[in-house]
Amino acid sequence: MNYKIIPTQDVIEKTIQSLKANGINAIVVENGKEAKKKVFELISHDAEVMTMSSTTLDTISLTETINKSTKYNAVRDKLYSMDRETQYIEMQN
């Protein structure tokens, strides 16, 4: 699959249907700027957010924005800094 080619509307609609059939809500936007805006509309202030590795999120600088923001409780860096041996229970909460 060539990810540099924008898919047809038919492919997008089939993908959305498949995601929804598996309990995943999908929202289509026109570009990265709109995607970033939509994410921030969906995440409430002080929400606990775990960012994972994503080329897409990194490309639109969403991962960095969330991890450095004081508006959200970004847990990724916190978890990575914890010791699994001594802080296992804290990591689960």
Give the pLDDT confidence of 35-46 residue by residue, as tens digits. 999 999 999 988
Asked, for residue 64, whether it belongs to a domain, the answer is yes
If one compares 15 and 90, the residue with the highest pLDDT of the two is 15
pLDDT exceeding 90 applies to what percent of the chain? 46
The whole-angstrom separation of Cα 18 and Cα 32 is: 22
Whether 11 maps to a domain, the answer reads no
Q: Which residues, in sequence order, are CB contacts of 48 under 8 Å at separation 6+? A: 72, 73, 75
Q: Is residue 1 included in any domain, yes or no?
A: no
Considering the domain boundaries, does residue 76 fall inside one?
A: yes
Domain that holds residue 37: 32-92
Does the structure show a pLDDT above 90 at 48?
no
69/92 Cα distance (integer angstroms): 23
Neighbours of 29 (CB within 10 A): 12
pLDDT, tens digit, 9 for 90 and up, residues 15-33: 999 999 999 999 999 999 9
Instruction: Give the confidence band of 49 by pLDDT, cuts at 50, 70, 90.
Output: confident
